[in-house]
């Protein structure tokens, strides 16, 4: 049967807020969880991913989990370790113990952020390109993908790992013309990831069908995802304001954009 009750972790965050608005139209009943209270949602579970008992209770009885909770930008390693690495492990372990069959994991383009971006007629970046994390943050997403593979191979718990580009209401940079995922396409992709049959562990890129796309969306399309949006209508204005991506600029050379060239955040 198609999943109906879905736990959404990270429900108070930017993406969580967008998906809370869009996913119910697909027929899901969302159970919400976040470290912070979720505005206007008194029934939301307020819990830390470090709280194993709270996670057991939160996942009990759901058909699937959309795992968005965690630190969403670069941060000192100890913080990433606790929230993203241990936190994601804790969630998978709770899901295994409670028999939840599928997780949709919010991975990130920063798991492969040091991959040079295609230029000219270069081929699109395939989904099986090696992990090249650009930050401790990206490293935690590479870990999450490996964790997902392990829980599938060892325990038969399915995951779709979505290497999200930039999911915001509008693209706000020239790089985003290539990596943007409209919120509506984000909901389409999550719905496909929840309902496709026999996904095992499938890795997909998460973006709209952008004219300036850098990566291959075929594994996402194979789940039934049919993106409807393209960032191109925003191109003229953004390029007039910011200029074309400069191939000599390190922050423009790779998929991860400025995450590649930003100075480390201390303490390292």
Question: Which one of ligand NAI, ligand 15L, none is in contact with 69 (Cβ closer than 5 to 8 A by kind)?
Answer: ligand NAI
For the beta carbon of residue 77, count every other beta carbon within 10 angstroms: 17
Say whether residue 166 binds ligand 15L (CB under 6 A): yes
Is 254 within 8 Å of 119 (Cβ atoms)?
no
The residue written with tokens 């304001």 in the block is 241
In angstroms, give the least distance from the CB of 166 to ligand 15L: 4
The residue number with the shortest CB distance to ligand NAI is 13
Say whether residue 69 binds ligand NAI (CB under 6 A): yes
Say whether residue 108 binds ligand NAI (CB under 6 A): yes
Question: Which one of ligand 15L, ligand NAI, none is in contact with 265 (Cβ closer than 5 to 8 A by kind)?
Answer: none
Catalytic residue check, 92: no
Question: Which one of ligand 15L, ligand NAI, none is in contact with 48 (Cβ closer than 5 to 8 A by kind)?
Answer: ligand NAI
Cα 173 from Cα 259, distance rounded (Å): 14
Residues making contact with ligand NAI (CB under 6 A)? 10, 12-16, 34-36, 48-49, 68-72, 83, 87, 106, 108, 164, 166-167
Catalytic residues: 137
């Amino acid at each position: 049967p198609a999943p109906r009750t879905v736990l959404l972790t990270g429900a108070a965050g930017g993406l969580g807020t967008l998906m809370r608005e869009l996913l119910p139209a697909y027929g899901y009943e969302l159970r919400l969880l976040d470290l912070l209270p979720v505005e206007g949602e008194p029934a939301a579970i307020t819990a830390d991913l470090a709280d194993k008992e709270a996670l057991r209770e939160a996942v009990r009885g759901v058909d699937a989990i959309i795992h968005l909770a965690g630190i969403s930008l670069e941060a000192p390693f100890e913080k990433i370790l606790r929230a993203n690495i241990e936190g994601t492990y804790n969630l998978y372990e709770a899901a295994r113990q409670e028999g939840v069959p599928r997780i949709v994991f919010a991975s990130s383009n920063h798991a492969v952020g040091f991959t040079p971006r295609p230029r000219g007629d270069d081929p699109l970046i395939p989904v099986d390109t090696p992990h090249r994390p650009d930050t401790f943050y990206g490293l935690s997403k590479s870990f999450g993908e490996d964790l997902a593979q392990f829980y599938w191979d060892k325990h038969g718990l399915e995951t779709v790992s979505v290497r999200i580009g930039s999911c915001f209401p509008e693209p706000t940079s020239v790089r985003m013309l290539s990596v943007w995922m409209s919120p509506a396409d984000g909901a389409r992709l999550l719905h496909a990831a929840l309902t496709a049959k026999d996904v095992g562990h499938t890795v997909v890129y998460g973006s709209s069908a952008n004219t300036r796309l850098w990566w291959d969306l075929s594994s996402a399309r194979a789940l039934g995802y049919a993106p409807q949006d393209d960032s191109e209508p925003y191109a003229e204005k953004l390029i007039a304001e910011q200029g074309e991506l400069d191939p000599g600029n390190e922050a423009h050379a790779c998929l991860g954009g400025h995450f590649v060239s930003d100075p480390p955040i201390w303490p390292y």
